[in-house]
Amino acid sequence: MKPVIKDNMVLKPFTVGWDPNDGIMDDPDNHVERFLSTLTNMFYDADAAERFLKEHGDVLLYEVYEKTIPQRDGEIQFCSSITHPGKIGAEYFMTKGHFHARRDTAEIYYCLRGKGYMLMELENGEYEIGELLPGKTVYVPGNYAHRSINVGDETLISLAVYPGDAGHDYGSIETSGFKHVVVEKNGKPEVIENPRYGRMKA
Amino acid sequence: MKPVIKDNMVLKPFTVGWDPNDGIMDDPDNHVERFLSTLTNMFYDADAAERFLKEHGDVLLYEVYEKTIPQRDGEIQFCSSITHPGKIGAEYFMTKGHFHARRDTAEIYYCLRGKGYMLMELENGEYEIGELLPGKTVYVPGNYAHRSINVGDETLISLAVYPGDAGHDYGSIETSGFKHVVVEKNGKPEVIENPRYGRMKA
């Protein structure tokens, strides 16, 4: 039985352990697993995603472990964000990405392991890349959609922390995608314009 | 020149590196250092603090490295919190501790190194201890004064994250102290009632 946390609940102090090497939380309230089969449309080369599925079967792209915290202003949400290594065509494995429902809320990512890019993009398409390397903190300001991208060979693990009432808004990411995608070119990550921007569900 | 961050400023994404082994941030906007000489009254055995100063000279009890983030709702503040090992009499080196000025705001501590206790205390004196060990996250709910205590032999290093508008309230800690203190007894940390509670400045 998972605890039922109501938004008007008063929380007591607690401690949760998790392994910095694999990101697995000892006693999570929630474990999200995102498999390729449900996210083929997320990659700009949807044909490559279908081919990948046929050749390799379904794979786990990323996972999140979290405790349930009331979704209200003043609280702090935190989770371990785990993105596995791999590529669909030239595009690296990544998280779906999202805006915050409350757009003016920030988030920080503290990288524990691996090598990644944090793609941050405003609604107008302006973007910034933050490098995720062990010991680095990326500050994602409000109004930026953000996505973790694993550009290395091992699992990318970060601690993500954001305001209690930030919420998630996946809507425009699912339909339009990010304007930019990160692909491997000559063995190195490179940011290119998303050829399918605006029609990810087309 | 340090950047001047105004509370109505729009921040751009940024990345900051810091060393998980010593907690030192590459390019902090602010480095706080707290020496014993300015905090002798913080320890319940003020005589022991004076003796320590005479015998060993001044020592650095704890440090904080931080970036300057606008102090507003929706932002995320973060810092590295570094508490050095040692004792004043039987009481371990610790941070001053504080309530948040906005009392209903939470905070999390992610421990990177060392061994510590997070003492969390309500105004009515009820307390909880969270263990700070590498990989553990302590969740400090709103309304709890909180203090990091180094109960180990090496430096205690945590990443602390809290809401943008939480603020700090040291007032009642400076005058009354915490109702509980953590001391070494038979080689182990133990929580006892503070003999000088309510008259730390007496």
Structure tokens at A59: 């794979």
Q: What pLDDT, on the 0 to 100 scale, is given for residue B102?
A: 96
What distance in Å separates the CA atoms of residue A155 and residue B26, rounded to the nearest whole number? 25
Chain position carrying tokens 């006693």: A27
pLDDT in tens, B3-44: 555 666 778 999 999 998 999 999 999 999 999 999 999 999
The per-residue pLDDT for A202 is 58
The answer to whether A111 touches A136, Cβ cutoff 8 Å, is yes
pTM of the model: 0.94
Q: How many CA atoms lie within 13 A of A167 on its CB side?
A: 11
H helices, E strands: number in chain A: 2, 14
Compute the mean pLDDT over every residue in chain B, rounded to the nearest whole number. 94
What's the alpha-carbon Rg for chain B, to the nearest Å?
17
Per-residue pLDDT, A127: 97
CA distance B187 to chain A (A): 24
The stretches in chain A having pLDDT less than 50 are: 1
Give the pLDDT confidence score for residue A4 in this predicted structure: 55
- Span B137-162, mean pLDDT? 98
Whether residue B13 and residue A136 make contact (CB cut-off 8 A), yes or no, is: no
Helix, strand, coil shares of chain B, percent, nearest 5, are: 10, 40, 45
Structure confidence at residue B171 as a pLDDT band (50, 70, 90): confident
Q: How many contacts, defined by CB atoms under 8 Å, are there between A and B?
A: 141
Cβ distance of B133 and A74 shorter than 8 Å: no
Q: How far is CA A36 from CA A33, A39, A48, A95, B147, in A?
A: 10, 5, 11, 11, 44
Asked whether A168 and B43 are in contact (CB, 8 A), the reply is no
The whole-angstrom separation of Cα B157 and Cα A100 is: 30
Count of positions (residues) in chain A: 202
pLDDT at B1: 42
SS3 A156: strand
Comparing CB atoms, the residue among A17, A134, A163 nearest residue B163 is A163
Distance from CA of B116 to the nearest CA of A (A): 12
Determine whether the interchain pair A19/B135 forms a contact, defined as Cβ–Cβ distance below 8 Å. yes
* Closest residue in chain A to residue B76, using alpha carbons only: A106
Cβ separation A17–B136 shorter than 8 A: yes
Quick: pLDDT tens for B93-118: 999 999 999 999 999 999 999 999 99
Q: How many percent of chain B have pLDDT more than 90?
A: 89
Q: Which residue in chain B is spatially nearest to A127 when comparing CA positions?
A: B13
Chain A residues lying within 8 Å of B16, measured CB to CB: 136-137, 139
pLDDT tens digits for range A70-99: 999 999 999 999 999 999 999 999 999 999
| Residue of B10, B130, B136 lying closest to A13 (CB–CB) | B130
The residues facing A98 across adjacent strands are A146
Taking the CA of residue B76 and the nearest CA in chain A, the distance in Å comes to 6
